Chains A and B, each alone.
Chain A
């Protein structure tokens, strides 16, 4: 009993310490964002790694998810003779939930894990210490551009995912199942408003980008300098980021109703 309590106490202290370190880390990133030099060249490089390299998987998944939604939506709606609302069903599902969540999970798997692995292997091969010895702050030089790229790229990938999914739903619903094309588009455009839906999707994707960026860079930065440390940072990033995304998705939906 006593030992169980002691374990609980220890765990709590460890968790708090961990969160404290993370907060300090995020503070450092924030400070480097507003303090010169602004490393635009590095931001472009990271945007390439995060955005361009994730583009194919995001677009492909978007089209597939849209196609599945088109099929499922049609099968359900047609029972009520309401297949005219297919566009609204596909659109609202995607913009409010599937778009931002799916995109964030995909980017976590594709770019977040790579980001953590890259930083962790830089720890292992003393590249970060090498930077420190050149009087260059690794958080400024390596971490900040990566985290910032994640935040900037996520809403873009999210929007692309959603548009590709609209297209996937259109191909299935309109070309294959015979819903009227104009009805699909009109129903979709009428159902979605900027204030209620699009702003929400953008908010979600920016928050998710922030979470993935921070978790991936933090796990990489604090990795043990061994090959086991690199793999732990990579796996840890995917697990932590995925769970955090889903929790925050619920919280944002509950608070703002998007």
Chain B
């Protein structure tokens, strides 16, 4: 196990009923890099994130997070392990009975000994960082999709985790908001050196931000840099890329995809 890898998956098997999701899947996510998980619906992108977060256990195989094997941890040890991980859920997963401020403040209130003034300042700083100043008093249902995603991002990073897991951060957003969140994620990665694992359908932004692309195909993972995968001769990868880029005018700009 190399110290360069923040998360390692080894020989993962998982089935939901009769549906085999992973068959002997191996994959590693390097420290300080942005990895983007791609694959069709049902390929198990979100499920893989849940495995890494310890929200789900594989049928077989090892999940190693920051050098610690987590598949055999108790629920209590998992809570300790998760303090290293921030997670951005697809729907935001903000508690809808609390204001945005209280949502972002919650991890601090639970796990830090900061005074009320410090918490207030810290939350405000994070909300400004994601471009949502003065929204602390709003309820999550009063936010638009893009704002919700950014508020959730503020909550995910408020305790300064080493690893940030993002489930479909771009889905259902307009291009402007996609760009905004993409820029935020890249900035977080550059400035804080966060290891990031992102699932996405959105090929252009994935290609822009990823230093490693992971394609989930047929229960396994095909891993490489964007450049390598775009040049890949693997018919399954080509099929996916072509389906994703079909009908996207001007996509010739991305090398290797132009047909």
Looking at chain A's contact residues, the main secondary structure is: helix
Known contacts being A125-B93, A130-B87, A130-B95, is A135 close to B53, with CB within 8 Å? no
CB of A135 within 8 A of CB of B91, answer no
Residues of B within 8 A of A18 (CB): none
Partner of A132, one of B55, B156, B159: B55
CB of A135 within 8 A of CB of B93, answer no
User: Could you mark each residue 160-192 of chain B with 1 if its beta carbon is under 8 Å from any beta carbon of chain A, else 0?
Assistant: 000000000000000000000000000000000
| A122 CA / B86 CA spacing, docked (Å) | 19
Partner of A130, one of B80, B83, B93, B111: B93
Residues of B within 8 A of A122 (CB): 95
CB of B95 within 8 A of CB of A133, answer no
Minimum CB distance partner of A49 in chain B: B97
Minimum CB distance partner of B159 in chain A: A134
Known contacts being A135-B110, A135-B111, A136-B110, is A130 close to B82, with CB within 8 Å? no
Looking at B78, B83, B86, B110, the one whose CB has the most chain A CB atoms below 10 A away is: B110
CB of B93 within 8 A of CB of A127, answer yes
CB of B110 within 8 A of CB of A127, answer no
CB of A126 within 8 A of CB of B91, answer yes
Minimum CB distance partner of B55 in chain A: A129
User: Could you mark each residue 121-162 of chain A with 1 if its beta carbon is under 8 Å from any beta carbon of chain B, else 0?
Assistant: 010011101111111110000000000000000000000000
| A50 CA / B80 CA spacing, docked (Å) | 33
Partner of B93, one of A45, A129, A137: A129
CB of B55 within 8 A of CB of A134, answer no
Known contacts being A127-B94, A127-B95, A127-B96, is A134 close to B89, with CB within 8 Å? no
Minimum CB distance partner of A130 in chain B: B93
| A131 CA / B94 CA spacing, docked (Å) | 9
CB of A133 within 8 A of CB of B106, answer no
Minimum CB distance partner of B50 in chain A: A129
| A129 CA / B106 CA spacing, docked (Å) | 14
Instruction: Tally B residues with Cβ within 8 Å of A.
Output: 27
| A148 CA / B169 CA spacing, docked (Å) | 37
| A130 CA / B82 CA spacing, docked (Å) | 11
Looking at A122, A127, A135, A137, the one whose CB has the most chain B CB atoms below 10 A away is: A135
A239 to chain B, nearest CB (A): 26
Known contacts being A127-B96, A129-B55, is A134 close to B106, with CB within 8 Å? yes
B107 at the interface (CB under 8 A from A): yes
Which residues of chain B from 93 to 121 have a CB within 8 Å of any chain A CB?
A: 93-97, 106-107, 110-111
| A132 CA / B55 CA spacing, docked (Å) | 8
Residues of A within 8 A of B85 (CB): 133
Instruction: Tally A residues with Cβ within 8 Å of B.
Output: 14
CB of B89 within 8 A of CB of A126, answer yes
Known contacts being A127-B96, A129-B55, is A134 close to B107, with CB within 8 Å? yes
Minimum CB distance partner of A42 in chain B: B97
B79 at the interface (CB under 8 A from A): yes
CB of B110 within 8 A of CB of A134, answer yes
Residues of B within 8 A of A129 (CB): 50, 55, 87, 89, 93
| A127 CA / B111 CA spacing, docked (Å) | 18
User: Could you mark each residue 73-88 of chain A with 1 if its beta carbon is under 8 Å from any beta carbon of chain B, else 0?
Assistant: 0000000000000000
Q: Could you give 29 example pairs across A and B, Cβ below 8 Å?
A: A125-B91, A126-B89, A126-B90, A126-B91, A126-B93, A127-B93, A127-B94, A127-B96, A129-B87, A129-B89, A130-B89, A130-B93, A130-B94, A132-B53, A132-B55, A132-B79, A132-B82, A133-B53, A133-B85, A133-B86, A134-B107, A134-B110, A134-B111, A134-B159, A135-B80, A135-B83, A135-B110, A136-B79, A136-B110
Q: Other than A127-B95, A133-B85, give 17 A-B pairs with Cβ distance below 8 A.
A: A45-B97, A125-B93, A125-B96, A127-B94, A127-B96, A130-B93, A131-B95, A132-B78, A133-B156, A134-B82, A134-B106, A134-B107, A134-B159, A135-B83, A136-B79, A136-B106, A136-B110
Q: Which residues of A contact B (CB under 8 A)?
A: 45, 122, 125-127, 129-137
Enumerate the 8 nearest inter-chain pairs by beta-carbon distance, A residue then B residue, closest first: A130-B93, A133-B87, A126-B93, A135-B79, A134-B107, A126-B89, A135-B82, A127-B93
